[in-house]
Structure 1
Amino acid sequence: MRSSVRSVPPAPRLLSTALLAVGLLGSALAAPLCRAPANLIPNAGFEGGAFSPGGRPTGWEFESWSTTALGTWDNTTAHSGRRSVRIDARSPDDALWRQPVAAPVNVPLFLGGWIKSDNVQRGADQPGSPGATVSVLGRWDQPAPTLGTTPWHAVGMSFLSDTSPLLVAPRLGFWGGLASGTAWYDDLVLVPRVADAPHPRWKILLLVYPQTDAVITRPDGSPRHVQGTSSSAELTKTAEQARLFVERDIPALTSGNMLPTLTIRHARQPMKTLSPVGEGWWPAQGDVLSELDPAFDSVIVVWDPRVKDVATGESLWIGGGAGLTQARGVSQTYTTMSVEYAGVNGHRNVYKHEWGHSILSYFEALQQTPQPTVNNHATASQYVNCKTGQYYVWQDETEAQPIPNSIYSNTAGFTHDYYSGTVARAEAPQTCLGIGPQAWAWGGPVTHSGSAPVFTAAERVGALIGQVSALQTAGILGPRPAQVLQAELQAARLVLRIPRASAQARWPLAVFSRHVQALVARGQLLPQAGTLLIEAATAASGCV
Structure 2
Amino acid sequence: MRTPNTHPVPALRRISTALLALGLAGSALAAPLCRAPANLLANPGFENGRPSPGGNPPGWTFQSAYSGALGTWDTAVAHTGRRSVRIDATRPEDSHWLQSAAVPVNTPLFLGGWIKSDNLQRHDQPTSPGATISVLGRWDQPAPTLGTTPWHPVGMSFITDTSPLLVSARLGFWGGLATGTAWYDDLTLVPRVAEVPHPRWKILVLVYPQTDAVITQPDGTARHVQGQASPTEVTQALAHARLFVEQDIPALTSGNMLPTLTVRTASRPMQTLSPDGDMRWWPDAQADAEPGFDSVIVLWEPRVRDTATGESLWLGSSFGGMQYRGTRQTYTTVTLPYAGPNGNRNVYKLHWGASILSHFETLQRTPQPTVPPVTMASRYVHCQTGQQYVWLDETLDQPTPNSIYSNQAGFTHDYYSGTVARAEAPAVCLGIGPQAWAWGGPVTHSGTAPVFTAPERVEALVSQVQALRTAGMLGPRPAQTLQAELQAARRMLSLPRASHQASGPLQAFSRQVEALVHSGRLLPQAGALLIEAATAAIGCV
- Partners of 2:66 and 2:234 in 1: how far apart? 50
1:534 alignment partner, one of 520, 531, 536? 531
- Pair 1:397-2:390 in alignment: no
Kindly report which structure 2 residues correspond to 1:369-380, keeping only aligned pairs within 5 A, or say none: 369-380=366-377
In the TM superposition, what is the alpha-carbon distance from 1:223 to its structure 2 partner? 1.1
Kindly report which structure 2 residues correspond to 1:264-275, keeping only aligned pairs within 5 A, or say none: 264-275=263-274
Aligned length: 538
In the TM superposition, what is the alpha-carbon distance from 1:226 to its structure 2 partner? 1.0
State the secondary structure of the residue aligned to 1:240. helix
- Partners of 1:82 and 1:15 in 2: how far apart? 48
In the TM superposition, what is the alpha-carbon distance from 1:462 to its structure 2 partner? 0.3
In the TM superposition, what is the alpha-carbon distance from 1:23 to its structure 2 partner? 3.2
Aligned to 1:105: 105
- Comparing 162-171 with 265-274, greater Cα deviation is found at 265-274
Q: Which amino acid in the other structure matches residue 339 of structure 2?
A: A
Q: Which amino acid in the other structure matches residue 414 of structure 1?
A: F
State the secondary structure of the residue aligned to 1:462. helix
State the secondary structure of the residue aligned to 1:399. coil
- Pair 1:482-2:447 in alignment: no
Aligned to 1:65: 65
- Pair 1:491-2:488 in alignment: yes
In the TM superposition, what is the alpha-carbon distance from 1:517 to its structure 2 partner? 0.3
Q: Which amino acid in the other structure matches residue 65 of structure 1?
A: A
Kindly report which structure 2 residues correspond to 1:122-141, keeping only aligned pairs within 5 A, or say none: 122-123=122-123, 125-141=124-140
In the TM superposition, what is the alpha-carbon distance from 1:9 to its structure 2 partner? 4.5
In the TM superposition, what is the alpha-carbon distance from 1:364 to its structure 2 partner? 0.9
State the secondary structure of the residue aligned to 1:181. strand
Q: Which amino acid in the other structure matches residue 182 of structure 1?
A: T
In the TM superposition, what is the alpha-carbon distance from 1:121 to its structure 2 partner? 1.6
- Partners of 1:282 and 1:298 in 2: how far apart? 21
- Partners of 2:335 and 2:477 in 1: how far apart? 39
Aligned to 1:500: 497
- Comparing 318-327 with 76-85, greater Cα deviation is found at 76-85
- Partners of 1:215 and 1:150 in 2: how far apart? 30
- Partners of 1:25 and 1:356 in 2: how far apart? 25
Aligned to 1:413: 410
Change (3 A) 1:130 1:8: closer
State the secondary structure of the residue aligned to 1:355. helix
In the TM superposition, what is the alpha-carbon distance from 1:51 to its structure 2 partner? 2.1
Aligned to 1:146: 145
- Pair 1:350-2:351 in alignment: no
In the TM superposition, what is the alpha-carbon distance from 1:346 to its structure 2 partner? 4.5
State the secondary structure of the residue aligned to 1:406. coil
- Partners of 1:34 and 1:8 in 2: how far apart? 15
Listed one character per residue, the Cα deviations across residues 63-82 of structure 1 (whole Å, up to 9, x for unaligned) are 11110100011111122222
Which ranges of structure 1 fall in alignment gaps of 5 or more residues?
none
- Partners of 2:373 and 2:173 in 1: how far apart? 36
Aligned to 1:465: 462
Q: Which amino acid in the other structure matches residue 67 of structure 2?
A: T
In the TM superposition, what is the alpha-carbon distance from 1:154 to its structure 2 partner? 1.3
Whether the 8 Å CA contact 2:217–2:279 is kept in 1: the answer is no
In the TM superposition, what is the alpha-carbon distance from 1:253 to its structure 2 partner? 0.4
Aligned to 1:40: 40
Whether the 8 Å CA contact 1:421–1:437 is kept in 2: the answer is yes
- Partners of 1:389 and 1:443 in 2: how far apart? 29
Listed one character per residue, the Cα deviations across residues 349-382 of structure 1 (whole Å, up to 9, x for unaligned) are 1100001101111111110011111022210021
Listed one character per residue, the Cα deviations across residues 464-493 of structure 1 (whole Å, up to 9, x for unaligned) are 000000000111100000000001101100
- Partners of 2:288 and 2:311 in 1: how far apart? 30
Aligned to 1:163: 162
- Partners of 1:219 and 1:190 in 2: how far apart? 45
Kindly report which structure 2 residues correspond to 1:212-231, keeping only aligned pairs within 5 A, or say none: 212-231=211-230
Listed one character per residue, the Cα deviations across residues 154-189 of structure 1 (whole Å, up to 9, x for unaligned) are 111101111110000001111121111111111110
Q: Which amino acid in the other structure matches residue 43 of structure 1?
A: N
Query: What percent identity do the matched residue pairs reach?
Result: 72
Q: Which amino acid in the other structure matches residue 63 of structure 2?
A: E
Aligned to 2:203: 204
Aligned to 1:17: 17
Q: Which amino acid in the other structure matches residue 150 of structure 2?
A: P
Q: Which amino acid in the other structure matches residue 59 of structure 1?
A: G
Structure 2-normalised TM-score?
0.97
Whether the 8 Å CA contact 1:21–1:517 is kept in 2: the answer is no
- Partners of 1:32 and 1:450 in 2: how far apart? 16
- Partners of 2:73 and 2:217 in 1: how far apart? 54
In the TM superposition, what is the alpha-carbon distance from 1:132 to its structure 2 partner? 1.1
After superposing on structure 2, the runs of 4+ consecutive aligned residues of structure 1 that deviate more than 6 Å are none
Structure 1-normalised TM-score?
0.97
